Amino acid sequence: MELGWHPFLRINLSGQFRLLDSHDWIALADTVPFVGSHWCGVVQCFKTNPLTCTLLARWESGYADPWLILTDFLPEIASTTWYGMRSWIECGFKDTKRGGLHWHFTKMTDPQRAERHWLAIALATFWLVSVGTEADATPPHSHYDDLPPTHIARTRPPAKKPTRFLSCFRRGFIEIIVALLLGQPLPVGSFFPESWRTPTAFSSA
């Protein structure tokens, strides 16, 4: 908290919570009882070890269980959709290890050496992602509109949204390797952030 970080923790359906102006405890599983339901509010969660926090609950179609999120954000600010970004963490693990910088091969046992190594990994990741982000945001020289009327691509319905086949990390890696092989100046890169997911209108009891 002192560093400006905010908890955004998913919990399971067991346990209870109560509204701050009530003494009645409610089962967490009853918060969003059916697909399509959502709720949020400031509560006291967990009867044994109470925690005052914001509870976000949402059950979307296609999911076997609802999402229950605890955070210190106010209900009108936070959104359960942010939890969908957790997949970025898994991608980060892969990029740091087998899929990128191979941290898993290290034999270091000295924390100070590992700390310096992690600093180098962090800077390298920042560089790779920035180069990949710029390449991803820069349109190619050829464009769909430049294709002739009889091109096969025009016979297929356009995709609803563009699909990223390479992560920005991987694309940045390729851009830098190509520059080295061709003897070109190394790219610096820049960031083009995607739009932040805005909160959905929740009802609060």
Question: For residues 19, 70, 32 and 205, what is the CA-based torsion angle, rounded to 10 degrees?
Answer: 30
CA 33 to CA 65: how far, in whole Å?
10
Closest-CA residue to 60 (of 76, 92, 85, 84): 84
- Shortest CA distance to 8 belongs to which of 88, 91, 68, 64? 68
CA triple 199-204-205, angle to 5 deg: 170
pLDDT of residue 184: 95
Residue 147 is predicted with a pLDDT of 76
Q: What letter does residue 57 receive in the DSSP assignment?
A: E
Q: What is the pLDDT of residue 43?
A: 96
CA distance 73 to 8: 9
Show pLDDT as tens, one digit a residue, over the chain (205 residues): 577 789 999 999 999 999 999 999 999 999 999 999 999 999 999 998 999 999 999 999 989 999 999 999 999 888 888 888 887 788 888 899 988 999 989 888 999 999 999 999 999 999 999 999 999 888 666 666 677 888 777 777 666 555 677 889 999 999 999 999 999 999 999 988 777 665 544 333 3
* Structural element, H or E, at residue 17: strand 16-19
Residues 159/201, Cβ–Cβ less than 8 Å: no
Task: Strand 51-58: give its sheet, edge to edge.
Answer: 8-11, 67-71, 51-58, 38-45, 16-19, 26-27
* Pairing state between β 16-19 and 38-45: antiparallel
Structural domain boundaries in the chain: 8-78, 86-182
